Structure 1
Amino acid sequence: MVAGDRDQSLMSGRGPDWFTDAYTHSPGATHLLTLFGAEHSPGGIPNWEAAETTDENPERVAVLQRLTAAYLRSALNPSDTSWKRASCALADAGSAIGRIDSK
């Protein structure tokens, strides 16, 4: 799961924690990447013809790209250690860019 700590939704008045419910309440979601200062569309493409984003911070976009690729590599190949290395690198950097919670 990925969430920004400044996520807002027109579907809920709860604020950013609404986006973390799938991690909090689902037994299947084992990791939550929280990007600090990020909104709901950090440099992504929300649909086929759209190019807009609510967050164009290049560092957050790069971290999201690296961690997503590392997670997918490790999820598809259990012997791949990309996710462990990438998540440790984020934690070791003491970065103000985000954090990973795991359960």
Structure 2
Amino acid sequence: MNKVEEKQTFAPKEEIEEKVVVPDIVADDDDDEEDEEELVDPIDTIREQCSRDAESKALLAELQACTDRVESRNMTEETCQQEQFDFLGHRDHCVAHHIFNHLK
């Protein structure tokens, strides 16, 4: 076989392989995107539920009262940091008791 014949036999195979591979890859990507479900983080739901108990509502009311008081004044050094920590600490404590039921 001479060099001219080798080029003729190899060129069509490469072209056929490229044509077959490219459409298959594109088609597979579209199918994967359609089949994937959007994941939902269970901690968001648990946080919302824990924010509804009586103690959380009381702590949230204290936080809101403090926020209103601070925003009504022009010059104050008071912050509502402690009230915020109290509310978030209670809520996170509640979440910690429930989150492990949702892990696999």
If the length of structure 2 is used for normalisation, what is the TM-score? 0.27
* Structure with greater helix percent: 2
Provide the TM-score with structure 1 as the length reference. 0.28
Larger strand proportion, structure 1 or 2?
1
